[in-house]
Structure 1
Amino acid sequence: MRIAIAGGHGKIARHLTRQLSSRGDAVVGIIRNPDHEQDLREDGAEPVVLDLERASIEEVAQVLRGVDAVVFAAGAGPGSGAERKDTVDRGAAVLLADAAEAAGVRRYLMVSSMGADAGGQGIEDKVFAAYQEAKKAADEDLMARDLEWTIVRPGGLSDDPGTGLVHIARHTGRGSIPREDVASVLRTVLDDPTTSGLVFEVISGQQLIATSLRALRD
């Protein structure tokens, strides 16, 4: 497969890139900062420098032509304000979907946020509320499209080594998960077309990823 990952220098994206490239898949990593190009090459990706806050649909579509799937793993990141939560976590995700449609790419994986279906409701922190609203809007935009989408909503993220054991459900309750395991979930979803149309949360648990996904579908 040939997969394009938006936000290619993020920790989840880099784990996913290594997993995919190590088994022979081709990965295109879309990044904003050219200083990160060498990191992506070392991970086994082809870096493409493109600012998804400023790029046109056609510029992004040019990058996506010939890929089998896209993964949105970009984010404004800690320290960014409410405005960038909207321009990146919503706007860039929508742009990637527009470009995927223009390029004829059907498969779209979204790295979302636990609780995104409620948006910013009841959240006192204005920036975090804006982040959740942006994630909700991006998810709803994607769900309304005629694409083969899957939306993955991880719990609290850690840099602990992955265990390969998870709990996947429509709503899992609070919990955390290593970024490496989130990447493994994304890789498993990429390999399984029956996950198209699913929206789920994921935290660490006691089941293998494929088993937990199968239980969700059943």
Structure 2
Amino acid sequence: MRIAIIGGHGQIALQLTRLLSAHGDAVRAVIRNPAHAGDVEAAGGQPVVLDVEREGADALTPVLDGVDAVVFAAGAGPGSGPERKYSVDRDGSVLLAEAAEKAGVRRFVQISTMGAGKPAAGGDESWVAYIDAKTQAENDLRARDLDWTILRPGSLGNDPAAGLVRLAANVPAGSIPRADVAAVLAELLITGGAQRQVLELVRGETPVAEAVRALAG
């Protein structure tokens, strides 16, 4: 399978690239900074330098030529202001969806966040904008005729993968290692499961493959 990841230098994206490459899949990792190409190559991916904040869907569409699935893993990151929450977390996803439609790529997996889908409960201006941007990105994707899956991880950590998760439409708030998020994403892509579903993800007691297999669709 051939997969394109937008935000290919993110921590989850690099771990996902390693997993998919080990499975025998080909990964194109779209990155903004050419200095990050070596990290992508070390993970087994093919770096593609393109700034989704500056380019339109017409520039991204050729990158998706021959691709079977796309993953939106980009994010403005900690310390960024409200403006970049919208230009990256919302507009980047919309751009990828438009490019996927133009390129004829139906499978779209979006990394969102727990708390999306409703107004932020407290937090500063950037946090409120982040939740709103993720919500708008989800709403845009859900309105499209694509085989989408939206994954909302809980609080992210850098602990080693446990391989045990809780994955469902609604789960209690909690945390999850980035490595386990990557494992769930890989399983969703490899199996094609949970299409047109919005899923929340935290630590749990169910092995990743079993948790994904239990989802209908």
Aligned to 2:88: 88
Q: Within 5 Å, which residues of 2 pair with 1:125-140?
A: 125-140=124-139
RMSD value over aligned CA atoms? 1.2
User: What is the alpha-carbon distance in structure 1 between the residues aligned to residue 213 and residue 40 of structure 2?
Assistant: 32
Q: Within 5 Å, which residues of 2 pair with 1:103-182?
A: 103-120=103-120, 122-182=121-181
Query: For the Cα contact (< 8 Å) 1:167–1:205, is it kept in 2?
Result: yes
Report the CA distance between 1:176 and its aligned residue: 0.5
Query: For the Cα contact (< 8 Å) 1:8–1:40, is it kept in 2?
Result: yes
Paired residue secondary structure (2:200): strand
Report the CA distance between 1:111 and its aligned residue: 0.3
Aligned to 2:55: 55
Aligned to 2:69: 69
Aligned to 1:25: 25
Paired residue secondary structure (2:117): helix
Which residue identity is paired with 1:200? L
Paired residue secondary structure (2:167): strand
Question: Over residues 138-166 of structure 1, what are the superposed CA-to-partner deviations in whole Å (9 max), with x where a residue is unaligned?
Answer: 00000000000000000011111101100
Aligned to 1:185: 184
Query: For the Cα contact (< 8 Å) 1:119–1:135, is it kept in 2?
Result: no
Does 1:38 find its partner at 2:38?
Answer: yes
User: What is the alpha-carbon distance in structure 2 between the residues aligned to residue 147 and residue 119 of structure 1?
Assistant: 26
Report the CA distance between 1:216 and its aligned residue: 4.2
Identity in percent: 54
Paired residue secondary structure (1:141): helix
Report the CA distance between 1:209 and its aligned residue: 1.7
Report the CA distance between 1:212 and its aligned residue: 2.2
Paired residue secondary structure (1:35): helix
Question: Over residues 164-200 of structure 1, what are the superposed CA-to-partner deviations in whole Å (9 max), with x where a residue is unaligned?
Answer: 1000121211111110100000011112234111111
Query: For the Cα contact (< 8 Å) 1:2–1:68, is it kept in 2?
Result: yes
Aligned to 2:98: 98
Query: For the Cα contact (< 8 Å) 2:2–2:68, is it kept in 1?
Result: yes
State the TM-score, normalized to the length of structure 1. 0.96
Q: How many residues are paired up? A: 217
Query: For the Cα contact (< 8 Å) 2:184–2:212, is it kept in 1?
Result: no
Which residue identity is paired with 1:23? H
Q: Which stretches in structure 1 are left out of the alignment for 5+ residues?
A: none
User: What is the alpha-carbon distance in structure 2 between the residues aligned to residue 113 and residue 132 of structure 1?
Assistant: 8
Report the CA distance between 1:18 and its aligned residue: 0.3
Paired residue secondary structure (1:133): helix
Query: For the Cα contact (< 8 Å) 1:119–1:134, is it kept in 2?
Result: no
Report the CA distance between 1:21 and its aligned residue: 0.7
